[in-house]
DNA sequence: GTGGAGTTGTTCAAATTCGAACATATCGGG
DNA sequence: CCCGATATGTTCGAATTTGAACAACTCCAC
């Protein structure tokens, strides 16, 4: 190969701005959830996904794919949420290997109690900072990133 | 308070797309760096920041602020990089409490060796997916997020 | 100067994450 | 029907990260 296509000033600005902002945003969301609900962001995402799923349940693999976490990472977190009584494990009817993570009633309550504060932070630190056009751009761009980043890999 | 301003469909789409994409992107960058250079993304960011700093050195606090990591997290990582011979600690001339993290020659070499592969991934999964307009939007938006997320806090 | 308030960096324990190895179960071709 | 190739979840050990507690130092008002 001849040479690397380095990032020019604008491209570098975009990458560093993205990195810094995403780290900070993640940190703040984490802080808020821990303080107000004793939950990790990962745990909240799991509860939210389950809540939106048909019958409030999902296969482990599907859930891991959705929240973008490793299989072992999900096993661990489901274990934690089970201890808290927010999630239960059920055997999968159609596949004996499978395990279903099921949101309990307490899990639903916890989510309903926690969601307002969470949404507030997400608005303050991202959504309400965007014009409608920018919102569309974020959706478009991030979907492109997802597609590119998922190309040629599995669940992780 | 009366009620929560929930996220409408577009806003929700933006948030979930952002979350998914950022998790995946981080994962891929991490994979590439680990495989090609045995480095963590956090470690690479530290090397890059030091490389761009005057005299290739920065105060611990300043560095922690830049890469958005906790003080203790930085202490740990600088320890790791020191073991690898990529960074050294120096006492701060102007402040006896201070510690300077200094990029070594080996650190510079490591960075030069590693940067091309890293830039390639960053291009493939983000930069090259953006039109010039979108690039500008990302910079603008992410800087806004940074400002909002830093409002009223310290280094973390 | 001096004392108290604030900074700076490290140490410590706890929590989370990942990948690799593993046991179990499904599925398609012969 | 049966075997190898895949897929699914869990377990394990190692690495990383965080916040709180701590020790050392600076700085300002008095």
Per residue in A137-150, pLDDT (tens digit) is 999 999 999 999 99
Give me the pLDDT at residue A156, please. Answer: 41
> How many other CB atoms sit within 10 Å of the CB of residue A143?
17
Which residues of chain B have a CB within 8 Å of the CB of A18?
126, 138, 142
Per residue in A47-64, pLDDT (tens digit) is 999 999 999 999 999 999
For chain A (length 156 residues), average pLDDT per consecutive 10?
A: 88 97 97 96 98 96 96 98 97 92 97 96 97 97 96 57
CA distances from A13 to A19, A150, B14, B118 (A): 10, 25, 22, 16
Give me the pLDDT at residue B153, please. Answer: 62
Percent of chain B at pLDDT exceeding 70: 96
Tell me the two tokens of residue A38. Answer: 């004793």
Query: Which of B97, B90, B95, B98 is CA-nearest to residue B55?
Result: B90
Alpha carbon distance A146, B20 (integer Å): 7
Question: What is the fold, at CATH topology level, of the domain defined by A24-150?
Answer: Arc Repressor Mutant, subunit A (1.10.10)
B122: Cα separation from own chain's centroid: 13
Give me the pLDDT at residue A1, please. Answer: 64
The answer to whether A71 CB is within 7 Å of strand D is: yes
Which residues of chain A have a CB within 8 Å of the CB of B149?
21, 24-25, 27-28, 125
**SS3 call for B88:** strand
Q: CA B150, C1' D14: Å apart?
A: 33
Q: What is the distance between the terminal CA atoms of chain B, rounded to a whole angstrom?
A: 30
Give me the pLDDT at residue A140, please. Answer: 97
Tell me the two tokens of residue B87. Answer: 């960074």
Footprint of strand C, using CB within 7 A?
A: A 40, 42-43, 69-73, 76-77, 80, 95-97, 156; B 27, 31, 59-61, 71-72, 74-76, 78-79, 89, 92, 95, 97-99, 155
Percent of chain A at pLDDT exceeding 70: 96
Calculate ∠ Cα A150-A33-B149, nearest 5°: 75
**Which residue ranges make up each domain of chain B?**
42-150
Q: CA B94, C1' C23: Å apart?
A: 61
Alpha carbon distance B105, B109 (integer Å): 6
Q: What is the DSSP string of B68-120?
A: T--HHHHHHHHHHHHHTTSEEEEE-SS-TT-EEEEE-HHHHHHHHHHHHHHHH
A81 Cα to chain B: minimum distance (Å) = 21
Nearest by CB: B25 against A11, A138, A145: A145
Judge: B124–A148 Cβ closer than 8 Å, yes or no.
yes
Give me the pLDDT at residue B1, please. Answer: 64
Is residue B91 within a helix (H) or strand (E), and if so which, with residue range?
Answer: strand B87-91
- Mean pLDDT over all residues of chain B? 95
Judge: B134–A137 Cβ closer than 8 Å, yes or no.
yes
Q: CA B75, C1' C4: Å apart?
A: 28
B104: Cα separation from own chain's centroid: 19
Give me the pLDDT at residue B3, please. Answer: 86
B56 Cα to chain A: minimum distance (Å) = 18
Determine whether A3 is exposed, middle or buried from the number of CB atoms within 10 Å of its CB (0-12, 13-18, 19+): exposed
For residue B63, pLDDT over 50 is answered with yes
Give me the pLDDT at residue A2, please. Answer: 73
Query: Residue with structure tokens 């859930």?
Result: A63
CATH fit for domain B42-150, picks 3.40.50.360, 3.30.1360.120, 3.50.50.60, 1.10.10.10:
1.10.10.10
**SS3 call for B103:** strand
Query: Residue with structure tokens 């102007």?
Result: B94
Per residue in B5-56, pLDDT (tens digit) is 999 999 999 999 999 999 999 999 999 999 999 999 999 999 999 999 999 9
As separate numbers, helices (DSSP H) first and strands (DSSP E) second, chain A gives 6, 3
Q: CA A87, C1' D9: Å apart?
A: 17
Give me the pLDDT at residue A3, please. Answer: 85
Alpha carbon distance A114, A95 (integer Å): 33
């Amino acid at each position: 190969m001849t040479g690397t296509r380095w990032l020019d000033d604008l491209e570098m600005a975009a990458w560093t701005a993205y990195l810094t902002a995403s780290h900070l945003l993640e940190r703040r969301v984490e802080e808020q959830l821990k303080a107000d609900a004793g939950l990790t962001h990962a745990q909240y995402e799991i509860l939210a996904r389950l809540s939106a799923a048909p019958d409030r349940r999902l296969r482990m693999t599907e859930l891991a794919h959705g929240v973008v976490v490793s299989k072992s990472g999900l096993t661990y977190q489901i274990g934690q949420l089970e201890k808290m009584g927010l999630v239960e494990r059920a055997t999968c009817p159609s596949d004996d290997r499978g395990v279903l993570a099921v949101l309990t009633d307490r899990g639903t309550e916890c989510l309903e109690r926690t969601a307002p504060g969470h949404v507030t932070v997400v608005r303050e630190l991202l959504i309400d900072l965007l014009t409608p056009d920018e919102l569309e751009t974020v959706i478009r761009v991030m979907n492109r990133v997802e597609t590119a980043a998922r190309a040629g890999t599995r669940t992780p």
